[in-house]
Amino acid sequence: MKEHLERYGWILKILPEFLVRWAEERLKLQPKFQTMIAQEDLKVAALLESSLKPYHSRFKRHEALPEEGIPRENILSEVKTMCELERPRWEKGFVSGGIYHGDREHIDFLNQVYSLQSQSNPLHSDLFPSATKFEAEIVSMVAGFSGKGECAPDVCGTVTSGGTESILLAMKVYRDRARRIRGIKKPEIVLATTAHAAFDKASDYFGIKLIKVPVNQDFVLDPKEVRRRLGRRTIAIIGSAPAFPHGTIDPIEDLAQIAEEHGVGFHTDACLGGFVLPFAERAGLPIPKVDFRVRGVTSMSIDTHKYGFAAKGSSVVLYRNSELRREQYFTATEWPGGLYFSPTLMGSRPGALSAACWASLLSTGAVGYRDSARRLIEAGDFLKREMGKISGIRILGDPLWIIAIDSPEFDVYELMDRMSERGWSLNGLHHPPCIHIALTLRHLESGVLGRFIDDLKWSVTEVRKHVKKGGGMAPVYGMASSLPFRGLVGDLLKKTLDAIYKV
């Protein structure tokens, strides 16, 4: 204690009196936290080693380029072995989200298209005019079922590498436009605490302040609270359709109206719902409007590689008009290498992914998407009904096909670990502690949902015995939720990334 007071005591001299006691207490606690952190670091390191690197003992590690090339048949054999080890879990429907289609014929079809277009690069449109055809038609098709029409005839957009890039680009558009037109140098966006972490990344990358609004008891944004948080530096409001954590849909129409009244942008993040909500509505289900049919909606992000069933690495960002989209483009007119222009963050891009996306849209068609949307929501209704019969857990909010649960009686992360023992890979969430399952076509296979409910009942029974088996992810999530300094949690996540790149 004396050592810490000598080292940090100068802080006490400059603090207001009412903060002195708080600072003194923190200095007293520091050695305890350091010991705790060191102990937890060892636990986490061991856990990461076993969970992230299961192939260490099975396959040779390549820390340096081999002097002589390895025979291709050997490489193919090793890759095939790893695929066979990984396939059963997602193919049998044990995974929340992740694999959204997974049918072998569909995968083989996309692989054929990818193979044919493997050398394509949209950056070189003169060499690969097919890439420009694919991407223009992808945007047009997605805009067509996302509200483009009489009320919004000029909807346009671009293809991106995923939902994160779509969100980053839209936020860059609002930042640049507000700076150019309104002279705003310290921009702010208003969004829910449940909005996707990609908005935090946009904040970090582009210098945008996030005004985060806690969700209400239904786990959605309260328009009154949003209106209260608006300021002269607000450049956009965000609404999720649905939000990733709890699968709930923000009141897009009310929020977009507020944005329109204040002359700011409104972005609907429909990365998860863009291919489900419009087709569920067409199937006759009561779905709220979240797209460009709503006055005030000025942009949307929609992932084609989720419920659009495209290969991973494709998404679409849409704008109400081309004036907004132009804010996204980058051009360099004075580079000695020639005239350079790029629509998105990347320069060279895998045209094969756009070709596979285009092929997925065409082969599935509106009827296919309508059928899958209806079945997903019906499956969600079944799960909610059966979960409601299990004592000890409760469903958060009013979700459709992404369902989060917590428990007022026991540690929900222990429940997640028990489900892992039964083979399930569910998503752990916090604030509040909960877990969720995002339904996909894999879960619609015969017997999968029944098995999930049976395993959930078994897991609840096991957790109620109050016997903690140790290991698993419960200690990690528990520590992440309880650490008082969030920088420590961020450091933990960075150590996870270090472990991923360790050979």
Residue 13 forms part of a structural domain: no
Residue 199 forms part of a structural domain: yes
Confidence of residue 14 (pLDDT cuts 50, 70, 90): very low
Which of 33-42, 132-141, 340-349 has the weakest average pLDDT? Answer: 33-42
Residue 352 forms part of a structural domain: yes
pTM of the model: 0.89
Q: Which class for 293: exposed (0-12), middle (13-18), buried (19 or more C-beta within 10 A)?
A: middle
Q: What is the CATH number of the domain that holds 298?
A: 3.40.640.10
* pLDDT over threshold 90, residue 476: no
Mean pLDDT, range 286-306, rounded to an integer: 98
Mean pLDDT, range 273-297, rounded to an integer: 97
Residue 362 forms part of a structural domain: no
Confidence of residue 45 (pLDDT cuts 50, 70, 90): low
- Catalogue the E-assigned strands of 369-458: 394-395, 402-406, 427-429, 434-438
Confidence of residue 21 (pLDDT cuts 50, 70, 90): low
Write down the pLDDT at residue 493. 77
Mean pLDDT, range 103-112, rounded to an integer: 97
Q: How many domains would you assign to the chain?
A: 1
In 3D, which of 44, 325, 303 has the Cα closest to residue 174?
Answer: 325
Mean pLDDT, range 444-461, rounded to an integer: 97
Helices 17-52 and 474-482 cross at an angle (nearest 10°) of 160
Write down the pLDDT at residue 44. 62
339 Cβ neighbours under 8 A, 6+ residues apart: 331, 332, 333
Q: First vs last Cα of the chain: how many Å apart?
A: 40
The SS3 call for residue 50 is helix
Amino acid at 44: V
Confidence of residue 47 (pLDDT cuts 50, 70, 90): low
Contact in structure between 219 and 255 (CB atoms under 8 Å):
no
Residue 11 forms part of a structural domain: no
Residue 222 forms part of a structural domain: yes
Q: What is the DSSP string of 163-203?
A: HHHHHHHHHHHHHHHHHHHH--SS-EEEEETTS-THHHHHH
Report the distance separating Cα 359 and Cα 370, nearest Å: 17
Whether the CA torsion 43, 45, 46, 52 is positive or negative: it is: positive
Instruction: Give how far Cα 455 sits from Cα of 209, 417, 436, 458, 464, Å.
Output: 43, 12, 14, 5, 14
* pLDDT over threshold 50, residue 388: yes
38 Cβ neighbours under 8 A, 6+ residues apart: none
- Catalogue the E-assigned strands of 106-169: 156-160
Structural domain boundaries, residue 301: 131-357
Instruction: Give how far Cα 173 sits from Cα of 25, 109, 112, Å.
Output: 45, 36, 36
Q: What is the pLDDT of residues 416-450, one digit of tens each?
A: 999 999 999 999 998 999 999 999 999 999 999 99
Residue 498 forms part of a structural domain: no
Residue 448 forms part of a structural domain: no
